[in-house]
């Protein structure tokens, strides 16, 4: 699993031009799932995300986690995080999992985030046309890949 985490003041996603989901201060998490991923990756990565100390304390030092801040998460599935651009100019997405594997892991990811936070996260919709808007705070943007956790 690969995530791009952005600390935000607020964010929203429009899904298929019909529905909008939004959060206030917290994190936008773009999630890409690949064939090598499993339930252990879900557990490790969700715990890492909610406990990352990337929010400012009263002295302006990044000492607080999302849990400390009681912040929100907007989770967006994004297979393009596994794009390979080694050959040619058209990216290949061969490492990205097909829906039959990715959707169950995506649903587990949502459930684990809900458990870790003690509240529901907002999500996009797997495979839908989505327009994401956000105000990046800092800016703070972090990339984590479970295949490189050691």
- The answer to whether the predicted template modeling score (pTM) of the entire model surpasses 0.75 is yes
Q: In sequence order, what E strands does the chain have? A: 2-15, 19-23, 26-32, 55-56, 62-64, 72-77, 122-123, 130-145
Q: How far is CA 31 from the centre of its chain?
A: 4
Asked whether the predicted pLDDT for residue 102 surpasses 90, the reply is yes
What local confidence, expressed as pLDDT, does residue 62 receive?
Answer: 96
User: Residue 33: pLDDT band by 50, 70, 90 thresholds?
Assistant: very high
35-47: pLDDT as tens digits:
999 999 999 999 9
Mean pLDDT over each residue of the chain, to the nearest integer = 94
119-145: pLDDT as tens digits:
999 999 998 999 999 999 999 999 999
Q: How far is CA 88 from the centre of its chain?
A: 28
Beta-carbon contacts of residue 36 (< 8 Å; ≥ 6 apart): 147
Asked whether the predicted pLDDT for residue 79 surpasses 80, the reply is yes
Q: How far is CA 126 from the centre of its chain?
A: 13
Cα separation, 56 vs 65, in Å, equals 9
Active-site annotation holds for 80: yes
In the chain, what's the furthest Cα-to-Cα distance?
Answer: 49
Cα separation, 29 vs 130, in Å, equals 14
Reported as half-sphere exposure (CB side, CA atoms, 13 A), residue 5 has a value of 23
46, 80, 85, 123: which is the annotated catalytic residue?
A: 80
What local confidence, expressed as pLDDT, does residue 83 receive?
Answer: 86
């Amino acid at each position: 699993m690969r995530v791009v985490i952005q600390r935000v003041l607020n964010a929203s996603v429009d899904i298929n031009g019909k529905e909008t989901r939004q959060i206030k201060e917290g994190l936008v998490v773009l999630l890409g799932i690949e064939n090598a991923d499993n339930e252990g990756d879900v557990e490790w990565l969700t715990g890492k995300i909610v406990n990352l100390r990337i929010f400012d304390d009263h002295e302006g030092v990044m000492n607080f986690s999302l849990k400390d801040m009681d912040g929100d998460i907007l989770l967006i599935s994004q297979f393009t995080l596994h794009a390979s651009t080694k050959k040619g100019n058209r990216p290949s997405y061969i490492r990205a999992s097909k829906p039959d594997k990715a959707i169950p892991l995506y649903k587990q990811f949502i459930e684990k985030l809900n458990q870790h936070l003690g509240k529901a996260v907002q999500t996009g919709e797997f495979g839908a046309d989505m327009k994401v808007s956000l105000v990046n705070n800092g800016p703070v943007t972090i990339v984590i890949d479970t295949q490189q956790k050691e």
